[in-house]
Structure 1
Amino acid sequence: MARRGSPVRKGRRGGKRGESGVWWAPAVGVVLLIAVPNVVASSWTTLLAVAVVLGVLVGVAVLVIRRLGAAYRRDALRRAGVERLDPRRFEELAAELLRRDGFRRVSVVGGAGDRGIDVVGVASDGARYAIQCKYYTRAVGPGQVRDFVGALQAKPYRDHRGVLITSHYLSAEATRTAGEHDLIVIDRDRLGDWLIDAYRLGPGRRPPAWLVRLRHGREAR
């Protein structure tokens, strides 16, 4: 008759095998405790490096876009011969751009008794606009802006949207004054955008100057 093994002995043998099978668990734990912080630290370092590189690339892209826009504006102003205009022809240029943007009943009214308004027109949505053109080689000051605001308060122009167009720029104080009275300001930079159809007066918007030029090539205006 075969001898049966003792249940006690079998249990002891099983226990020894179980204990010997997990001897490596503490070692794995120690390795993980050492390795995980290093991996995490390495990951954060990598992420930080990537973020820095992306930030630099974005900064370079913004700088390039700004320089492209500035170059396109200068080219547009040169092509339009803005430097060779006189005040009257500058007003006519503004009227031409209004018509291109879909304005109706555009008229150059500058002259004696114009109350400081040089061009008027009606946008495609029916809004009336009164434009003052400043063909300057110096910055427009706050006094000139206040005079324009006064002209807009006169009876013929009370319901008109005021637009100040200049071949130069506004001083900081003049810019604040224009903002306080909700005037639309088209300075030299925006005029360059307007010439190449990257800016639109009235309803609707245009893409930035650099994008328009990239789409239509160097001949775009």
Structure 2
Amino acid sequence: MARGSKVRKRKRVTAAVCVAGVAVVWFAAEHPGWALGITCLLGVLLAGGLVLRQRMIRAERQRFLAANVELEKVDRMSGPEFEHLVAERMIADGFRQVRQRGGAGDRGVDITALAPGHGRYAIQCKRYGKPVGARDVRDFLGALANTFAGHTGVLVTSAGLTKQARLEALGAREPLILVERDRLADWLLGTVSLLPARSAGMLTEEEAT
């Protein structure tokens, strides 16, 4: 009985859509000027709505970043919350196609992103209370050499790195970009960038040593 009711409902909806479509076609044929005007108006309203939505999203992102630039707040975050903060900062920094991958099955990378004109990036986030060790760095380099070959590697941590971990990171065939605690706050504030296009404030391997 319930199945028959659903079938009848779908038929009524289909019939209503067909009638509406016929009415629109008839109106456009009989009143082309009005139809064009209404179409243009709807297009303007749609475009305006999309622009407004994008502005609201950007404003919300800026509020979120401004509320979480203090390292004391970062220290109270969970791992996923820290990954979300890093992803939001990357979007604000100009990265595109920013995707959070953290969790089971992330294959050693928490975030992937595209830097227009500069290729793909793979980011590992470590919200640690102690220095990141050499094993973590080696695991990340392994992911970059295999699953994420061709990506620029970025290691972002709320702590620092051990001496051996830093040597591993900077001595690799493709050295990692390191964002350690002493530069994390500056990056979250937007005063430095990961993107080469803003080289005056770019985080480099040398600055991280």
What interval of TM-score do these two structures reach, taking the shorter chain for normalisation? 0.5 to 0.7
User: 1:112: how far off?
Assistant: 1.3
Task: Please list every run of 5 or more consecutive structure 2 residues that lacks an aligned counterpart in the other structure.
Answer: 1-67, 203-209
Q: Indicate yes or no: 2:189 matched with 1:196.
A: yes
User: TM-score by structure 2 length?
Assistant: 0.59
Task: Please list every run of 5 or more consecutive structure 1 residues that lacks an aligned counterpart in the other structure.
Answer: 1-74, 209-221
User: 1:120: how far off?
Assistant: 0.5
> Is the Cα contact below 8 Å between 2:109 and 2:122 reproduced in 1?
yes
Q: d(CA) in 1 for partners of 2:84 and 2:168?
A: 26
Q: d(CA) in 2 for partners of 1:153 and 1:88?
A: 24
Q: Indicate yes or no: 2:107 matched with 1:131.
A: no
User: 1:129: how far off?
Assistant: 0.2
Letter of the 1:184 partner, please give it. Answer: I
| Secondary structure of 2:86 counterpart | helix
Matching of residues 70-109 of structure 1 within 5 Å: 76-78=69-71, 81-109=73-101
> Is the Cα contact below 8 Å between 1:124 and 1:202 reproduced in 2?
no
Letter of the 2:181 partner, please give it. Answer: R
Listed one character per residue, the Cα deviations across residues 13-41 of structure 1 (whole Å, up to 9, x for unaligned) are xxxxxxxxxxxxxxxxxxxxxxxxxxxxx
User: 1:78: how far off?
Assistant: 4.2
Give the length in aligned residue pairs: 132
Q: d(CA) in 2 for partners of 1:116 and 1:109?
A: 9
Q: Which of 93, 96, 113 in structure 1 is aligned with 2:105?
A: 113
Compared with structure 1, are the counterparts of its residues 76 and 114 closer, same or farther at alpha carbon in structure 2 (3 Å cutoff)?
closer
Letter of the 1:179 partner, please give it. Answer: L
Higher relative contact order (CA 8 A, sep 6+): 1
Listed one character per residue, the Cα deviations across residues 100-142 of structure 1 (whole Å, up to 9, x for unaligned) are 1110000101111111100000012241000010110000111
| Secondary structure of 2:99 counterpart | strand
Q: Indicate yes or no: 2:169 matched with 1:178.
A: yes
Q: d(CA) in 1 for partners of 2:142 and 2:109?
A: 11
Tell me what 1:6 maps to.
Answer: none
Q: d(CA) in 1 for partners of 2:189 and 2:90?
A: 13
Residue identity (%):
44
Listed one character per residue, the Cα deviations across residues 184-203 of structure 1 (whole Å, up to 9, x for unaligned) are 11111111110121210122
Listed one character per residue, the Cα deviations across residues 143-178 of structure 1 (whole Å, up to 9, x for unaligned) are 1100110111123x1010011111100011111110
Query: Over aligned residues, Cα RMSD in angstroms?
Result: 1.8
| Secondary structure of 2:199 counterpart | coil
Larger Rg: 1
Matching of residues 1-221 of structure 1 within 5 Å: 76-78=69-71, 81-155=73-147, 157-181=148-172, 182-203=175-196, 204-207=198-201
User: TM-score by structure 1 length?
Assistant: 0.56
Compared with structure 1, are the counterparts of its residues 201 and 84 closer, same or farther at alpha carbon in structure 2 (3 Å cutoff)?
same
Compared with structure 1, are the counterparts of its residues 143 and 126 closer, same or farther at alpha carbon in structure 2 (3 Å cutoff)?
same
Tell me what 1:63 maps to.
Answer: none
Letter of the 2:189 partner, please give it. Answer: I
> Is the Cα contact below 8 Å between 1:197 and 1:206 reproduced in 2?
no
| Secondary structure of 1:89 counterpart | helix
